[in-house]
Structures are given as structure tokens and as C-alpha cells.
Amino acid sequence: MAWTTFGFRGQYATVNDGETILAVYFLIREIRCGGKEVAGLEPWCADWEDSIIGQGPGIFDPSLDKHLTSDAAVEAFLALLERAENRLIQDFGDTVPADYLNREVPPSGFDFYDYPSARIVRAMHNLRDLVHLGLQEGREPGE
């Protein structure tokens, strides 16, 4: 698996691309089947899918500064992470099957195997932690 570095409001994290791509895929999945609570986040899906397909291993970036431009967007993203984590565990338990991942995740340059849910959850926590670090820093996007 490849590693990449991306940031939010001047804070940066180096993450496992494959796990982060899977985490973002499950965010997309939650937006698309999550109901009215996340309906306003639909525009993020196309951008994230394009990023998964177009950037791939080693250069994947979920563009947090682009999407999390207001307190409401940050709150929605953090709530989305929690919802997606809960649904992942509810739907798949300890392991997400390879046949599901290779069929459903947008083409990313990875051939997935049976994947431990805990590693995808860890990637979600990495995203959450980066957002919290960016918020503590208090910088606005683009500064």
C-alpha cells in the first residue's frame, strides 16, 4: 500500500492510501444511503469519487479544505464519520469481504482483499483527528 500526506487548515497527516480510500468510500456510501441527515453532502461524493479514480495510490487527497469551509460543514463531516463507522461495523462486522470491495469501490489502482473493519475505522479516526487538529490551530482554509 502507498502512503500520502494531506492536510486541513495547516495541519498534515501521513496516511495509508488504501485505508483512507476505503474510509472515504464508506463516507460516500453513507451519504448515498443515509437519508435526509446527510442529503446536503451529496456534492462531496462526485469530487471524492473523481479523486479516488483520478489520483489513486500515493497521491490521494480527500480535499478537506475544499469541503470543510464552515462550522456547519465541519460538524456535518464529523457526524458523517461517526455514522459511516457505525454502519460499517453493523453491516460487515470484523471484516469487509474482498468481493464486495472490488465490486463496489471506485477503481483506485488497488486490488482489495478481505479487509479488517478496524483498519478502515482507524482511517476514519485519522480523518477525524486531522480535522480536530486543524480546528485547534484555528486557521482558515487557504491561510
Those residues whose C-beta lies under 8 Å from the C-beta of residue 58, and which sit 6 or more positions away, are: 2, 3, 4, 17
Q: Both ends of the chain: CA-CA distance in Å?
A: 31
Residue-level pLDDT, tens digit, the chain, 143 residues: 578 888 999 999 988 888 999 999 999 999 988 777 777 888 888 888 888 887 656 677 888 999 999 988 999 999 999 999 999 999 999 999 999 999 998 877 778 899 999 999 999 999 999 999 999 876 554 44
Alpha helical stretches, state H, the chain: 17-33, 42-55, 64-67, 71-92, 98-104, 117-137
Question: How far is the C-alpha of 49 from the C-alpha of 53, rounded, in Å?
Answer: 6
Provide the residue ranges of all domains of the chain, joining segments of one domain with +.
16-137
